[in-house]
């Protein structure tokens, strides 16, 4: 099975703060791995991100606080899944609970950096 990232984008509230997710949306996110498994896929991991106002951007030698680009929607979290193919990944991604944004499905390259040490 191929691996895909489901990138979750949500509209941030005024002042750059992420919206407080209603309890039913949080419950839907927590139930997503089980729903993906019911459809023949597998969730490999997921993580929510702090609001974009907490970001530090690096471009060459320039380091700045906050996001580099202005956008109405910001990356809010990521799920990594296994799916049979892109069509299956899209079917699984459609189950992602969204308040005011959308999702992007992107295939992973399959590079393994787990053996690297610092």
CB 1 within 8 A of CB 92: no
Assess if residue 118 is contained within a domain.
Answer: no
Nearest CA to 3 out of 88, 73, 61, 96 is that of: 88
Look at 70 and 79; give whichever has higher pLDDT: 79
pLDDT digits (tens, 9 = 90+) for 11-59: 876 443 445 677 888 889 899 999 999 999 999 999 988 888 788 887 7
The domain total for the chain is 1
Q: Identify the pLDDT of residue 16.
A: 39
Q: Identify the pLDDT of residue 17.
A: 43
Q: Which residue carries 């702090």 as its tokens?
A: 50
Q: Identify the pLDDT of residue 118.
A: 55
Look at 63 and 80; give whichever has higher pLDDT: 80
Assess if residue 115 is contained within a domain.
Answer: no
Q: Identify the pLDDT of residue 91.
A: 95
Residue 49 sits in which domain range? Answer: 2-107
Tokens of 114: 């787990």
Average pLDDT value over all residues in the chain:
83
Q: What percentage of the chain reaches a pLDDT higher than 90? A: 41
Look at 1 and 40; give whichever has higher pLDDT: 40
Q: Which residues, 6+ apart, have CB-to-CB distance to 101 below 8 Å? A: 8, 9, 10, 11, 73, 76
CATH code (residue 32): 3.30.70.1060
């Amino acid at each position: 099975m191929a691996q895909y990232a489901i990138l979750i984008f949500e509209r941030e509230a005024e002042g750059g703060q992420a919206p407080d997710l209603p309890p039913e949306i949080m419950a839907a996110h927590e139930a997503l791995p089980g729903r993906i498994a019911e459809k023949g896929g597998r969730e490999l991991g997921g993580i929510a991100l702090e609001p974009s106002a907490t970001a530090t951007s690096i471009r060459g030698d320039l380091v700045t606080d906050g996001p580099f680009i202005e956008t109405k929607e910001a990356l809010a979290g990521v799920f990594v899944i296994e799916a049979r193919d892109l069509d299956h990944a899209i079917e699984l991604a459609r189950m992602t609970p969204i308040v005011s944004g959308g999702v992007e499905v992107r295939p992973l390259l399959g590079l393994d950096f787990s053996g690297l040490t610092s």
